[in-house]
Structure 1
Amino acid sequence: MLLSALAAAGLLAACGKSGDGPGAAGGPPAMPPPQVSVVTVQAKDAPLTFEYTGQTAGSRETEVRARVGGILQRRLFEEGATVKAGAALFQIDPANLQTTVASTEAAIGVAEARYNQAKRDNARLVPLIAEKAISQKEFDDSKSALETAEATLRQVRAQAAEAKLNLGYTRVVAPIGGVTGVAAKADGSLVNSTDMLTTIVQVNPIYVNFSVSEGDMLKLNKQIAAGQVAVPGGKSANGSAGFAVSVKLADGSTWPKQGKLNFTSEKLNPTTGSYDARAEIPNPDGALRPGQFVRVVLGGASRTQSITVPQRAILDGPMGKMVFKVSPDNKLLPQPVEVEGWSNGEWIVTKGLKSGERVMADGVIKAHDPGMTVTPVPFVAGGAAPAGGPPGAAPAKAGEGKGAAEPGKAASNTAQAPSATKQ
């Protein structure tokens, strides 16, 4: 037993000697500074887009109406089908109007006979009046009868032309090309002139109507005047037709065809308190239908000399939006910022940062205390957060980082952001 006790004492003494240095007191070894992704911000011209809610409408919409009354004999088109301008849509019974045309043609014959008789009578009196063989009154009456017969003939001919025109209206044709609606009258119905029979909507190109609030328009015009924002095609937002227009559909997809602005109102709409605008979008296959709600995206503008940071760099602190700057000695410094809008999935910072400053873009879960020392590594857009191991450790695979937001979505980083005054 004595020998065993002496051996244990010797072993403890040996361990005490070899444990000199870090962790000699029995605590764990010191951890290296965590790796965080860092981006160096630079002022540059950043693309700027504007997005509004819009609704599609036909570029041309018309109501097809009857121009003469009668019995609707048959419908000559398929409801909802695409028709060309001039295509026959309905046939109204032409029997009554055919009778009218025949009657007016007979009236033309009678009028022509009377005109010819008056003309012959007047011709016989011309030499007699020269020889003063008849009175002047008799000659004047003959001349008046000729003029009356001529006027009656013109009147009858006009009535005949009108009758033929109305007969042609019994075949109702499409005034424009487009997609037909539902027939408002069934076969065999009695229709009156001006009764609506169907509608036609032209969907290629298709219009998208939207509006811009008065506040947004005033703010944008001030930024343009100050040189902070440049818009294509003009010095102000009003009437700028140079914007490239794209459309986002209800399922989140983007319509493959880009359009253009073809109307911007100079007058404020008193009902909505906004400016009305309209875009024209190519729709060759007719997949876009009138009445759809879409998102209208106006591109082509830019914010001059702006500073942008990745969306994960923006934190929600007690005093609002903030970022962590990384000092030259790799210490975290909280910095309140003001942001406005997006540019290619990045926040546009309008106040709080300067060119050349370093900002922590990712890694707030591991490093969130002001004054904390970190190991900065370059930020890779679309990559994952850096691994938490020592410097030189293999980086995490893309998509494995925690807290990664989808590009383009306005989701703020809500990790445990400290107060700017925390020590």
Structure 2
Amino acid sequence: MRFFPLLAAAILAGLMYLAIFERPSLMAFFGSDAEEAEETATPDQAASAVPESTQLVRVVVKTLTAQQIDSAVVLRGQTSAARQVDVRAETSAVVVSEPLRKGASITQGQEMCRLDEGTRQAALAQAQAQLSEAQSRVPESESRVLEAQARLDEALINQNASSRLNADGFASTTRLASADAAVAAAQASVSTAQSGLRAAKSGIEAAQAAVAGAQTELGRLVIKAPFSGLLESDTAELGTLLQPGALCGTIIQLDPVKLVGYLPETEVNRVTIGAQAGARLAAGGNEVRGKVTFISRSADPQTRTFLTEIEVPNPDLAIRDGQTAEILIASAGADAHLVPQSALTLNAEGTIGLRTVDATNTVQFQAVKIVRDTVDGIWVTGLPAQADVIVVGQEYVIEGVQVAPTPWEATQ
């Protein structure tokens, strides 16, 4: 019963002896000298026996030529109403008009809130009466001035006559002194009359100011819309007491509407006033077009970006205030290459770019700048006019190594 296990052990021992100690003879017996020689050859001998082209990394290369494209500056922003104002009261009174409800259309000059006039009409009548009284005093004051001026002229004539008579010895010195005193009194009378006339005119101005104030106060009782738009809030409720500064209602104007975004300082010089712009709204994906109307001259101190506004027509009021938008602003064209997105890579410094091959099939790294993303690929700048770009295998080679390029067309 133990014969077969012993036989199997002996056969296994013999095979192991031949495989370990008699391996060269055994390989020669089976005709494997060439294979053994290949296996036992040194690495340098093996490398010299293999053709050089089989040692290079194979990559797929696509030859790209630059094309002129319209570049655009892309930024994110939001829609904003062209105008929005809180209409407030300028005087204190009770609201006596029915309120307008939010969402209603309103035109410029339309009444929003009417306030109780109270005694303001009586105050206007009183101011007008005072004005009439002041105006009636002016003719009387003017006549007094004329009368005083006539007396002064008469006194001057008497003084002149007395002076000549006294010089010829026909009038006494006392008479001349009396004539001088009469002139002085007449001059004082003229000054008094002129003061009375000025006071009368000042009274007219004060009365006119009182009338204007009363009329202005009455005008403040009717609060009107400063421009056409939509009500964003109900107007003040009937019976509400409004104090100066209290809110009557909020108006918003959405036609035209503004697109507001912030340009980075690296892109601000590429955009000009009047440039064409478009935007895709986040809500619904609607696309709108307009023109750049404003670029800030000062940067935001926190973000170092520049406020930019674009005016867009909105006749149907479909665009709302505060919607998120992706904005594209047209700028000068540029020479760019259309490359597959998968061809982009990073170098050791983290710079985005493409790996290319030169005339000697040596790998080069070219830093690029993305201009536009499309469904067919990515438009980039920074490459020569014609470049052989590695589109397959770029992650397995580094700059300076030699590769075995295969044209893109040969793989299709």
For this structure pair, what is the TM-score category when the shorter chain's length is used for normalisation? 0.5 to 0.7
- The match for 1:263 is 294
Q: Give the secondary structure class of the aligned counterpart of 2:122.
A: helix
* C-alpha distance in structure 1 between counterparts of 2:356 and 2:347, whole Å: 17
- The match for 2:386 is 355
User: Per residue, is there more helix in 1 or in 2?
Assistant: 2
* C-alpha distance in structure 2 between counterparts of 1:198 and 1:149, whole Å: 45
TM-score relative to the length of structure 1: 0.62
Task: State the identity %.
Answer: 23
* C-alpha distance in structure 2 between counterparts of 1:317 and 1:299, whole Å: 29
The answer (yes or no) to whether the contact 1:104–1:160 under 8 Å persists in 2 is: yes
* C-alpha distance in structure 2 between counterparts of 1:130 and 1:38, whole Å: 116
The answer (yes or no) to whether the contact 2:255–2:315 under 8 Å persists in 1 is: yes
- Given candidates 106, 110, 121, the residue that maps to 1:98 is 121
1:74-115 C-alpha deviation (Å, 9 max, x unpaired):
246442233222222111112321111111112122222333
- The match for 1:278 is 309
- The match for 2:325 is 294
- The match for 1:250 is 282
Query: Is residue 196 of structure 1 aligned with residue 247 of structure 2?
Result: yes
Q: Which amino acid aligns with 1:267?
A: S
Higher-Rg member (1/2): 2
1:185-241 C-alpha deviation (Å, 9 max, x unpaired):
322111122333222222222222211234xx1xx58xxxxxxxxxxxxxx32x622
The answer (yes or no) to whether the contact 2:67–2:337 under 8 Å persists in 1 is: yes
Q: Which amino acid aligns with 1:251?
A: A
Seen in structure 2, the aligned counterparts of structure 1 residues 38 and 284 have a Cα distance that, compared at 3 Å, is: farther
Q: Which amino acid aligns with 2:201?
A: E
- Given candidates 144, 161, 166, the residue that maps to 2:212 is 161
Seen in structure 2, the aligned counterparts of structure 1 residues 371 and 59 have a Cα distance that, compared at 3 Å, is: same
5 Å matches for 1:180-259?
Answer: 180-183=231-234, 185-214=236-265, 217=266, 220=267, 236-237=269-270, 240-251=272-283, 253-256=285-288, 258-259=289-290
Q: Give the secondary structure class of the aligned counterpart of 1:280.
A: strand
5 Å matches for 1:32-43?
Answer: 40-43=63-66
- Gapped regions of structure 2 (runs ≥ 5): 1-59, 156-181, 393-402
Q: Which amino acid aligns with 2:369?
A: E
Kindly state the Cα deviation for residue 254 of structure 1 after the two structures are TM-superposed.
3.7
- Which piece of structure 1 moves more, 124-133 or 109-118? 124-133
- The match for 1:84 is 107
The answer (yes or no) to whether the contact 2:100–2:235 under 8 Å persists in 1 is: no
Q: Which amino acid aligns with 1:195?
A: A
- Given candidates 177, 182, 191, the residue that maps to 2:228 is 177
- Given candidates 79, 87, 92, the residue that maps to 1:56 is 79
- The match for 2:338 is 308
Seen in structure 2, the aligned counterparts of structure 1 residues 314 and 197 have a Cα distance that, compared at 3 Å, is: same
- Given candidates 111, 118, 136, the residue that maps to 1:113 is 136
- Gapped regions of structure 1 (runs ≥ 5): 1-36, 222-235, 328-332, 362-369, 379-385, 387-423
Q: Which amino acid aligns with 1:314?
A: A
1:109-152 C-alpha deviation (Å, 9 max, x unpaired):
22223333333444444433332379323343233222211210
- Tell me the number of residue pairs that the alignment of Structure 1 and Structure 2 aligns: 310
The answer (yes or no) to whether the contact 1:322–1:334 under 8 Å persists in 2 is: no
* C-alpha distance in structure 1 between counterparts of 2:284 and 2:117, whole Å: 53
Seen in structure 2, the aligned counterparts of structure 1 residues 42 and 117 have a Cα distance that, compared at 3 Å, is: same
Seen in structure 2, the aligned counterparts of structure 1 residues 358 and 155 have a Cα distance that, compared at 3 Å, is: closer
- The match for 1:128 is 151
- The match for 1:28 is none
Query: Is residue 343 of structure 1 aligned with residue 372 of structure 2?
Result: yes
The answer (yes or no) to whether the contact 1:42–1:307 under 8 Å persists in 2 is: yes
- Which piece of structure 1 moves more, 95-104 or 344-353? 344-353
Q: Give the secondary structure class of the aligned counterpart of 2:297.
A: strand
Q: Which amino acid aligns with 1:245?
A: A
Root mean square deviation of aligned Cα: 3.8
* C-alpha distance in structure 2 between counterparts of 1:244 and 1:193, whole Å: 44
Query: Is residue 146 of structure 1 aligned with residue 169 of structure 2?
Result: no
- The match for 1:66 is 89
Seen in structure 2, the aligned counterparts of structure 1 residues 129 and 323 have a Cα distance that, compared at 3 Å, is: closer
Q: Which amino acid aligns with 2:236?
A: K
Q: Which amino acid aligns with 2:337?
A: I
The answer (yes or no) to whether the contact 2:340–2:391 under 8 Å persists in 1 is: no
Q: Give the secondary structure class of the aligned counterpart of 1:182.
A: coil
* C-alpha distance in structure 1 between counterparts of 2:308 and 2:408, whole Å: 51
The answer (yes or no) to whether the contact 1:56–1:207 under 8 Å persists in 2 is: yes
Seen in structure 2, the aligned counterparts of structure 1 residues 254 and 125 have a Cα distance that, compared at 3 Å, is: same
Instruction: With a CA cutoff of 8 Å and minimum separation of 6, indicate the structure with the bigger relative contact order.
Output: 2
